[in-house]
């Protein structure tokens, strides 16, 4: 993280994203529209909003090559029963670093989405860094799309 400060302390984590809005405003003219809308969205860092990716968990992640172009799609189970979809196109570089979970011991997932930061680089590519509680994902890309789908509550029928 270059702009957003994210530190671990004895009580958990501390996040300071107060400088991020001014950063986004300073580069907004150079950003693709979909990335800009994701970066400035009121719900992006509002942990009470269902569209916020905080506490979301990976459902699946796919990497595809189509005509020599790398595309990454991530589907997340949101913290409030919704599905969040992130699509990256023209991917130049990516890394996924999975860490072993200490607690609970049996937990092998990527863990909860803690924080993310999207930046524009000098070469006009975007970098998106996502910190999960048990993993770190970095993607350098040109195209970006974000979607949210609210899941309908299913009626639970009694067993007879």
120 DSSP β-pair partners: 126
State yes or no: pLDDT of 160 exceeds 50.
Answer: no
Of the candidate ranges 7-21, 26-40, 87-101, 136-150, the one whose mean pLDDT is the lowest: 7-21
**The pairing of beta strand 135-141 with beta strand 126-132:** antiparallel
How much is the pLDDT for 156?
45
How much is the pLDDT for 62?
97
How much is the pLDDT for 2?
94
Dihedral, 98, 100, 104, 108 alpha carbons, nearest 10 = 50
Supply φ then ψ for residue 20, to 5 degrees: -65, -45
State yes or no: pLDDT of 108 exceeds 80.
Answer: no
| DSSP state, residue 154 | P
- Is the CB of residue 114 less than 8 Å from the CB of residue 6? yes
At 40, the pLDDT band (50, 70, 90 cuts) reads very high
Q: pTM value?
A: 0.87
State yes or no: pLDDT of 57 exceeds 70.
Answer: yes
State yes or no: pLDDT of 154 exceeds 70.
Answer: no
Q: How many CB atoms lie within 10 A of CB 152?
A: 7
Task: For residue range 7-17, list pLDDT tens digits in order.
Answer: 888 877 888 88
Domain boundaries, the chain: 5-149
Mean pLDDT in residue range 138-144 = 98
């Amino acid at each position: 993280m270059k702009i957003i400060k994210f530190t671990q302390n004895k009580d958990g984590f501390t996040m300071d994203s107060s400088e991020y809005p001014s950063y986004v405003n300073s580069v907004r003219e150079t950003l693709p529209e979909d990335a800009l809308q994701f970066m400035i969205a009121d719900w992006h860092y509002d942990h009470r909003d269902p569209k916020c990716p905080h506490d979301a968990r990976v459902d699946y992640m796919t990497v595809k090559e189509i005509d020599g172009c790398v595309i990454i799609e991530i589907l997340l189970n949101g913290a409030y029963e919704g599905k969040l979809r992130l699509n990256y196109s023209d991917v130049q570089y990516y890394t996924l670093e999975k860490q072993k979970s200490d607690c609970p011991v049996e937990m092998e997932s990527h863990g909860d989405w803690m924080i993310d930061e999207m930046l524009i680089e000098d070469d006009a590519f975007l970098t998106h860094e996502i910190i999960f509680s048990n993993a770190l994902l970095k993607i350098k890309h040109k195209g970006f799309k974000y979607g949210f789908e609210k899941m309908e509550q299913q009626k639970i029928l009694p067993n007879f």
